[in-house]
Amino acid sequence: MALIEKYGHGGDLLTAKQEFSRDSNHLLDFSANINPLGPPARVIGVLKDRLETIVHYPDPAHRMLKQKLAEKHAVSPEHILIGNGAAECIALVLLGLQPQTVGVIYPCFSEYEQLAVSYGAKIKPCCGKLANDFKPNSSELLQLIAETALVFIGHPNNPTGIMYSKEELVRMAEQAENTNTYLVIDEAFIDFHPHQKQATLLSELEKFKHVMIIRSMTKFYAIPGLRLGYAISHPELISKLQGKQVTWSVNQMALVAGEACLEEKEYEGKTIELIQEQRRYVKRSIEENLGWFVFPGQANFLLVRLTDEFTATDLQWKMGQKGILIRSCSMYPGLTNQYFRIAIRTKQENDCLIQAFKEVVKEGRKL
């Protein structure tokens, strides 16, 4: 059985189509953490209306989208860099700041390590503690910051979904200032968390000049094919990143979509409500019906630990044969082949997932 994540990520429908001999339109994808509501209808309409603008170059300075984001986050446009997805922002951080040593906390998003190594940095790892839902000890985290030039923090972390408190973020930022370490906080999934409960250092970036926040628009607004993300930090750091960015790396349709997405207040509320409700429902359903352990994540996905009855590879393959994709986490350092991740989708889709899990377990016990 081949891993469906042959290119290192979920959402690879072409590979799944080839492996399971199914049309991609008939695959239910829980392996990619995308808003189950799909793109806002208004955004699709705006893209159609503005399609003729592809005959022109996109604005190389991304001025309109920067201005809208600046208003949203109460910062100046000089604090913002627009990227071709959060992944480009991460790459530009490494290219622009050129750290020699990069700290990562396992398990975490694979691109932190992969990009850092490809750009010549050495990795200094820190392992999260299972007893603490894979968060590291505070002393180890502060030591990691002191001993590296740059540290990536997932908040919420992928694949665990855990978040840090405001107090923990402040302690990290203070340590980064004291040790001249760059602290890069990846908040790609924070928009799925209720706004009033979001712990973030966005309002304190003038105080913490070594902190950079990275966010994604593609996941929350369900436009991953367009690629759109941004970084927020002190203008001096943003300037270093911009100096390494390829002109026109962000295409015209992505900019158009981004501007339209920021007008979608009702959509935002519906999304957060759906994710909160369905995450609780899926967690409870898995624990009560299957007996697997579900970590208390706070994003639009859940990390699950299997019993010895299955491996994640076995389960992924059996679910794929039923037309449902899940994300094996066996390739994440710090995790084993007993862990998998699932996105939170609509109630109907989540019911299909739970039913398929039950069928696989029942079929397995008959063998």
Sign of the Cα torsion 307, 312, 314, 320 reads positive
CB atoms within 10 A of CB 307: 11
| Structural domains of the chain sorted by starting position, each given as residue range(s) with its CATH number in brackets | 13-30+266-366 (3.90.1150.10), 41-261 (3.40.640.10)
Tokens at 324, concatenated: 């449902």
**Residues contacting residue 189 through CB under 8 Å, at least 6 positions apart:** 33, 156, 158, 161, 216, 219, 299, 300, 301
Q: What is the pLDDT of residue 367?
A: 42
How far apart are the C-alpha atoms of 308 and 301, rounded to whole Å? 23
Q: From first to last of its 367 residues, what are the pLDDT tens digits of the chain?
A: 556 665 556 556 666 666 666 665 678 999 999 999 999 999 999 999 999 999 999 999 999 999 999 999 999 999 999 999 999 999 999 999 999 999 999 999 999 999 999 999 999 999 998 988 899 999 999 999 999 999 999 999 999 999 999 999 999 999 999 999 999 999 999 999 998 888 999 999 999 999 999 999 999 999 999 999 999 999 999 999 999 999 999 999 999 999 999 999 999 999 999 999 999 999 999 999 999 999 999 999 999 999 877 899 999 999 999 999 999 999 899 999 999 999 999 999 999 999 999 999 988 765 4
Q: What is the pLDDT of residue 224?
A: 94
Rounded to two decimals, what is the model's pTM?
A: 0.94
How far apart are the C-alpha atoms of 218 and 192, rounded to whole Å? 12
Q: What is the pLDDT of residue 10?
A: 57
CB atoms within 10 A of CB 92: 25
